[in-house]
Structure 1
């Protein structure tokens, strides 16, 4: 965006920041995002705010409900 001189203030991650079919566990998909803390640190260093998609429903296979 900077190369094209387009203003960018917020970077938004859609549902695929989480593991497939575990969209309510709020855990980063380690395959797609192996270093989420580092990535967010780099985005914030560029002055960006970060927004992640959340959905207030129950997942089909929620990890949080397992015993």
Structure 2
């Protein structure tokens, strides 16, 4: 399971000030890298509530999943 935590880049930056998880796009691309490595069971998630709109976060999780399924 890979939690993006939030799909809102500025909110992500506020919660990850240092360390490996600081790179928003590296984290965003992690499920794609897992798939290319041959891992066929990949879970996605966001920590609903970090960003102001839970609807946007749920939509972005769904969009991320659709993108992964198409690639």
Give TM-score scaled by structure 1 length.
0.32
Larger Rg: 1
Structure ranking higher in helix proportion: 2
